[in-house]
Structure formats: C-alpha cells, structure tokens
C-alpha cells in the first residue's frame, strides 16, 4: 500500500504546485517595493510628464495607456500629463505587472476582472468621498495593510496625505524629514506643480495652513503581511526558577 500511495502523492504534489502557481497570489512586500522602485526610476523628472489636476471630469491622469486582460483600462493623456492619483495607481499597476512577469504568472491582480480593477481605480481616486483613498482601495481588497507606526514605513509604501488647507495628495514614500531624531515631515515621490510634474518633494507636519495634518496620513503597504512571530517554545524541563 505504501508503494501504491507514493505515485499518488507525487501526482497530488505536482498538481498542487500548478494550482498554486495559477491561483490568486500576493507578492512579498519586499519584492513589491523593489518593483515599485524600478518603475518610478524609469520616469523622467524633467517635466516630460507635466502635472494637471482638472476641477471636474473623468480624466484618469495616466501618462500611458494601461491594459488589463487584453482590454483598455484607461487611456494615457495625449500630452503625457498626470495627476497624483493617476500616477500612483499607474505605478502600482505596472509594479504588479512586473511582479507577475518575474514570477512567470499571467498578469492578474488577485482574482479581479476588468470591472473589478475599474472599481479599484474608483476607490483609489476617492470617488466615493473616502478620504483614505488608495489606502481603502488596497486594504478593502486585501492587497496590503495599513502601516500604523510611521517609524515602520519604508520607501515604496503608498500614502494619502491631507493638509490643513483642505488639499490632499497621493504619493509614494521615500523617507522622513527629521529634526533632532524626531519625524517632522515626509519626503515622497509623486507629481505636483512645484516640481513641474514628476519628482520628489518634502512637506512638513504642522497645525495650520499648507502643512500636513499628521493625523490624516494614511500609509499602506502592498503585499503579503508577514505572520506574527511565534513566541519561543519553552523547554518543559527548564526550571522557571
């Protein structure tokens, strides 16, 4: 019976591996950070992709046409302009596509179809009025998790911030601004008028004006959340003393 069971076991293992390869999957956060870095490094910062924020309309703010499942998800701007929500989603989309290619998987964001990704875009843009925007888009679909402790944020994490002036911004974390070791602001990559389009910028936290509201800083990491470390096993023969 043991000899007969062995080929069956091998068959199950082989087919199980194939199923896992094709099944919806999440990248490791570290790997996704690397793909995000490679994607953003490919964008010129010389004003090629100018910043544009229309007051109304359905313009997506993509620098290029994005395709999903053989269909057009959204067309790129004729002048290659972008806005912060469109650009950060574009980076997320392209980084996921790169990860799938590296893993030799079909390009698919979990089990989302085209309409599912369009709904993801709407959440990312905050169409429903949700101020957490991209944070909600990612966590609602278990594409990643919220970073509660700023000290644990890493380059490649996504962020939605709000200012006391009422304006907001979607960006990708590059680091923190510190004074005497304390975090006093954020350094990020996005598109904005102050950098003539795509580029890095720093903003400070504060209590009024154009400063960033520290309590409305939504940090989120894409990828598989690590399992909490198991407590060390105590040897039953050890005396507690």
Q: HSE on the CB side for 118, CA within 13 Å?
A: 11
Is the Cα dihedral 103, 45, 139, 157 positive or negative?
positive
Closest-CA residue to 44 (of 205, 198, 210):
198
- Residues in the chain, pLDDT under 50: 1-21, 236-241
pLDDT value, residue 231: 62
Read off the pTM: 0.86
Under 8 Å between Cβ of 161 and 218: yes
pLDDT value, residue 215: 95
For the chain, the first-to-last Cα distance in angstroms comes to 51
CA 206 to chain centre: 26
pLDDT value, residue 22: 52
pLDDT value, residue 178: 97
pLDDT value, residue 55: 80
DSSP 8-58: HHHHHHHHHHHHHHHS----BHHHHHHHHHHHHHTS--SSSS-B---SSS-
């Amino acid at each position: 019976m043991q000899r007969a069971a062995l080929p069956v076991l091998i068959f199950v293992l082989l087919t199980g591996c194939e199923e896992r390869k094709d099944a919806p999957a999440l990248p490791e956060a570290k790997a996704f950070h690397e793909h995000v870095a490679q994607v953003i490094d490919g964008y010129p910062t010389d004003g090629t992709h100018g910043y544009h924020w229309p007051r109304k309309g359905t313009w997506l703010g993509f620098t290029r046409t994005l395709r999903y499942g053989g269909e057009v998800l959204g067309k790129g701007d004729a002048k290659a302009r972008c806005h912060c929500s469109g650009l950060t989603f574009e980076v997320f989309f392209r980084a996921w596509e790169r990860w799938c290619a590296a893993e030799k998987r079909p390009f698919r964001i979990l089990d989302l179809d085209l309409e599912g990704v369009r709904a993801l875009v709407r959440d990312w843009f905050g169409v429903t009025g949700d101020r957490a925007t991209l944070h909600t888009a990612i966590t609602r679909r278990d594409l990643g998790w919220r970073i509660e402790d700023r000290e644990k944020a890493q380059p490649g994490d996504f962020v939605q911030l709000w200012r006391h002036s009422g304006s907001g911004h979607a960006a990708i974390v590059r680091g923190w601004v510190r004074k005497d070791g304390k975090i006093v602001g954020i350094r990020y990559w996005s598109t904005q008028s102050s950098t003539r389009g795509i580029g890095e910028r720093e903003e400070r936290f504060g209590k009024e004006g154009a400063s960033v509201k520290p309590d409305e800083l939504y940090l989120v990491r894409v990828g598989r959340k690590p399992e909490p470390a198991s407590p060390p096993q105590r040897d039953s023969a050890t005396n507690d003393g």
